[in-house]
Structure 1
Amino acid sequence: MTTTGEDHTRAPTGPWWWERRRGAVLDVGLALASAAECGAEGVPFARDAGVPLWLGVVFGLLAGSVLLVRRKWPVAVVLVAVAVTPAEMGLLMGVVGLYTLAACELPRRVIVALAGMSLVGTMIVTFVRVSQDMARGDLTLGDWFVPFAAVATSLGVTAPPLLLGMYVGARRRLMESLRERADSLERELQLLAERAEERAEWARNEERTRIAREMHDVVAHRVSLMVVHAAALQAVARKDPEKAVRNAALVGDMGRQALTELREMLGVLRSGDSGGAVRRRVEPEPAAVPLAAVGVAAAEAASKAAAEVVVVDGPWLSELEELVGQSAAAGMVVALSVEGELRSYPAEVEQTAYRVVQEALTNVHKHAGGAKTYVRLAHRSAEIAMQVENDSPPEPGSASAGLPSGGNGLLGMRERVVALGGVFVSGPTDAGGFRVSAVIPAV
């Protein structure tokens, strides 16, 4: 389990200004050690200054205990360390104070200024102390040793804690930045997961709607024609046995076609193979052969205009005459007119155009039995247009053979056309009939 910025910035658990108890324990220990050091060094300081020993010890204890507030006021700790440098005390306080100062979030110029003060103070004190030792004869080295000792001591006391503190501070800031980035990435991943779940739910809903539409298109038209032929078969069974036999054969053929299409659809749904069997269409002239895509809409394509969907094999516009012939065989007076030159279209375009005409003819069988119907198809440069219009039925208000209607046919046609960027219009005509029109882009 990773630690994020939110985990790191939780409420402090230590007393006062400490974030953790162990930090407070560490600072208390350092303050005690520094107070003990300064108190011990206060004895020689009191002797040299000519003050009582207890006063020097108390001064050292108070000065050394300032290290307790190093995390809250590091500047004060460094200033006190610089102030007591002439008394030759506070070595631990100066080193720890410089480290804390360099590691905290203070402006760089402040850190450099205080470090310079500490460096200069230590250099001066060391220079004076070594010079006095040389004068007393405690040291017999050359004159070069005095500045060398002053520079080396000041750098040795100032540079290491300063550089270490700058490194720790930079590393701490880097870790904070990484925690913030990790927290931001975690939130983004959570948001992406939520969006992916929403897209998946949307895709499932779209797939259910599409399957219902496909089932409606496959079943409604065939069954409607079967009901119409069954009604005609019942009417002519005794008067014209030969016609009754033909109608019975048509009913059987349509039933077999409906079962075949249902088996194809159910087979695709069971296999879930997006690269399943497809069927080539026979073109009147050489052209690109479209393939009927078989698969489930991917969640990642949910933001596109139309998702990939499972499409049952076919149908094609080349089968439109057969579709019209089936309606004519069922007793409908229907006329088909085609404008423009037949050419190749994407599979989705041809299937949608076919389904629109098929559903419109099914609605005529349901709601306007016996009405004359006109099917018009126009091949244009950048689009394909279709229109199915029927006259007023011979007996207004009567549906052919009492066929039921679920009210989903027009809605399904509109969804199909709009999904491809087309326009769909339907409604009654002034003559009492009904018209269904659709225009679909050819690309």
Structure 2
Amino acid sequence: MTTTGEERTTARGGPLWWSRRRSAVFDWSLAAVSAAECAMEGVPFARDAGIPVPAGVVFGLFAGSVLLVRRQWPIAVVLVSIAITPAQMGFLMGIVGLYTLAASELPRRIIGALAGMQLVGTLIVTFVRVRQDMVRGDLDLGDWFVPFASIATSLGLTAPPLLLGLYVGARRRLMESLRERADSLERELQLLAERAEERAEWARNEERTRIAREMHDVVAHRVSLMVVHAAALQAVARKDPEKAVKNAALVGDMGRQALTELREMLGVLRSGDGVGDRRASVPVAAVAAVAARVGEDGEGPCLSELEELVGQSAAAGMVVELSVEGEVRGYAPEIEQTAYRVVQEALTNVHKHAAGAKTHVRLAHRVAEIAMQVENEPPPEVGSASSARLPSGGNGLVGMKERVVGLGGVFVSGPTEAGGFRVSAVIPAA
């Protein structure tokens, strides 16, 4: 089975091997015309062959109707047209069959061989007929006319349909190739769009996680201290009014600082960077920069502020010690901020889960890294006056680990053998 590529569609809507009804009607019309032509040409053929005229007409009808299967078996159509060439029949069938053969996807050697056979057959038959006419005196021309007429007729009946069929077949194959490439490109673009959407969704999730972490680090510590001071204030309000006033002032200061930092962060989130598109990425870098500050000097936290951080916890009733080892030096802002946040969150967890426990904060400046450790002893059996029930979201340790690992460091946390809890982190200095 061979196809010409004329009516390639994904769904067949016509009968038998036709892809569309229009193609079937067209081929039936061509077959009817070819059959009528061969039937008329069968009359002189029957007379010259000495057979009954009806037999020649019937032979012509059958021979011409072979054109009906040109799309399914173009080789058979061409062979039949070559076979009836000596009878001077099937000129339309020869032309259409050769065109269909050339436009098909058959190998070029088969197309060339059949076209050569038809050319030679037409050349021989035309040469013989023209020479016979000249011998009978029907044509009174020179001897040059016989080869000229033979060559011109054979080329005229063979070359145009052959070249046109090759051109149409090549053009259709090119169009199919372009269509396939377009479909492939469309699939690739769709796949890229899906991947881009997945990456965008992943980026949005990451940004939401980072914003939540920054919000947690900025607000949770101060709010936790506020709750601790409020509990202490409630416990000593009647016994020690001066201490109560002091705790109330601390609560107010910390509340104002927390509100200031929260207001600045919300201001960044409401900035015009993403106004044009509600799904645009939040400016996380700016959020992190604003969220990182713990004071009112407009700069991010640094290791030099650890003493103040530890002092705030001590003021809330925690027994905390700070020790620094190695030569103190400066680091990149993101390293100092991460180290500060680790200590801050670890102290916040002590306030939440081990109120009244003695805590040790160690900071070590090494050659190629900076290490920090916050370890608390077991909390006292009886809750102190400063103890309070503080809610925990369970994200503090996760956020610390994400920060440290993001800088290529190592983070470890867990209970100690003595019953306390230890948080350790090591961050590369470079």
Q: TM-score, normalised by structure 2?
A: 0.86
Alignment of 1:402-417 (within 5 A): 402-417=389-404
Moved more, 218-227 or 15-24: 218-227
- Segment drifting more, 149-158 vs 237-246: 237-246
Between the aligned partners of 1:171 and 1:353, the Cα distance in structure 2 is 69
Q: 1:322 to 1:9 in 2, by over 3 A?
A: farther
**Residues 114-169 of structure 1: CA deviation (Å, up to 9, x unaligned):** 01101111111111122222323333333222222222221111111111111111
In structure 1, distance between residues paired with 2:376 and 2:134: 124
Residue in 1 that maps onto 2:330: 343
After the TM superposition, which of the residue ranges 58-67 and 430-439 deviates more from structure 2? 430-439
Partner of 1:3: none
Shift of 1:82: 0.5
1:39 counterpart SS class: helix
1:42 alignment partner AA: G
Offset, 1:396:
6.8
Q: Deviations over 1:218-238 (max 9, x none)?
A: 222101111222233344445
Q: How does 1:145-184 map to 2 (within 5 A)?
A: 145-184=145-184
Distance 1:102 1:169 in 2: 7
Q: What's the secondary structure of 2:427's corresponding residue?
A: strand
Match of 1:286 in 2: none
For 1:124, the aligned partner's letter is I
What amino acid is the match of 1:370? G
The corresponding residue for 2:317 is: 331
Residue 36 to residue 434, structure 1, CA distance change in 2 (3 Å):
same
Letter paired with 1:316: P
Residue of 294, 299, 316 corresponding to 2:301: 316
Paired with 1:384 and 1:151, the residues of 2 have a C-alpha distance of: 97
Q: Hey, what's the Cα distance between the residues in 1 that align with 2:311 and 2:28?
A: 99
Amino acid at match of 1:367: H
CA contact (8 A) 1:35 1:63 kept: yes
- 1:351-378, Cα deviation, whole Å (9 max, x unpaired): 3332221110101112222333222233
Query: For structure 1, which segment, 57-66 or 374-383, has the greater mean C-alpha deviation from structure 2 after superposition?
Result: 374-383
> What is the alpha-carbon distance in structure 2 between the residues aligned to residue 378 and residue 8 of structure 1?
76
Please state if 1:11 is matched with 2:20: no
Task: Determine what percentage of the aligned residue pairs are the same residue.
Answer: 79
Q: d(CA) in 2 for partners of 1:140 and 1:379? A: 119
**Change in 2 beyond 3 A, CA 1:230/1:185:** same
Matches within 5 A, 1:235-246: 235-238=235-238, 240-246=240-246
Residue aligning to 1:279: none
CA contact (8 A) 1:274 1:296 kept: yes
Q: Is 1:432 the equivalent of 2:419? A: yes
For structure 1, the 5+ residue unaligned runs are 1-6, 276-294, 299-306
Checking the alignment, whether the CA contact within 8 Å between 2:355 and 2:383 is kept in structure 1 is: no
- Find out whether 1:273 has 2:250 as its counterpart: no
Structure 1 position 38, deviation (Å): 0.9
How far off is 1:382 after superposition? 4.8
Using the alignment, how far apart are the partners of 1:381 and 1:167 within structure 2? 77
Tell me if the contact between 2:377 and 2:420 (Cα under 8 Å) persists in the aligned partners. yes
User: Relative to structure 1, is the Cα distance of residues 335 and 102 closer, same or farther in structure 2, using a 3 angstrom cutoff?
Assistant: same
Q: The residue matched to 1:67 in structure 2 has which SS?
A: helix
Q: Output aligned runs, 1:201-220, within 5 Å.
A: 201-220=201-220
Contact 1:327–1:334 (CA<8 Å) still a contact in 2? no
- Aligned residue for 2:350? 364
How far does residue 206 in structure 1 lie from its aligned partner after superposition?
Answer: 3.1
User: Which residue number in structure 1 is paired with residue 3 of structure 2?
Assistant: none
Aligned-residue RMSD, C-alpha: 2.7
Question: How far is 1:55 from its partner?
Answer: 1.3
Secondary structure at 1:402's aligned position in 2? coil
Q: Would the aligned equivalents of 1:31 and 1:64 in 2 still touch at CA under 8 Å? A: yes
Note the alpha carbon deviations across 1:64-105, whole angstroms, 9 max, x for none.
110000000000000000011111111110010011001111
Partner of 2:379: 393
Alpha-carbon offset, residue 341 of structure 1: 4.3
Query: How many residue pairs align between the two structures?
Result: 409
After TM superposition, the score normalised by the length of structure 1 is 0.84
Decide which moves more: 252-261 or 433-442.
Answer: 433-442
Deviates further, 140-149 or 90-99: 140-149
Q: What corresponds to 2:124 in structure 1?
A: 124
